[in-house]
Structure 1
Amino acid sequence: MKEYIEERAVEVGNYIVDKKATVRQTAKVFGISKSTVHKDVTERLEKINQSLARRAREVLDLNKSERHIRGGMATRGKYQKIKKNTKAIQG
Structure 2
Amino acid sequence: MKSIVEERAVELGEYIVNQRATVRATAKRFGVSKSTVHKDVSERLKKISPTLYKQVNDVLQLNKAERHIRGGQATKIKYLAHHQK
TM class, shorter-length = over 0.9
Do structure 1's residue 70 and structure 2's residue 77 form an aligned pair?
no
Post-superposition CA distance 1:45-87 (Å, at most 9, x none): 00000000010010011001100000000000000001111xx
In 1, the alpha carbon distance for the partners of 2:46 and 2:38 equals: 12
Query: Highest Rg: 1 or 2?
Result: 1
Tell me the equivalent position of 1:30: 30
The within-5 A match list for 1:1-91 is 3-85=3-85
Question: In the comparison of the two structures, how many residue pairs are matched?
Answer: 84
- Structure 1 regions of 5+ residues with no counterpart? 86-91
Superposition RMSD in Å: 0.9
In 2, the alpha carbon distance for the partners of 1:26 and 1:58 equals: 15
Structure 1 length normalisation: TM-score? Answer: 0.90
In 2, the alpha carbon distance for the partners of 1:12 and 1:58 equals: 14
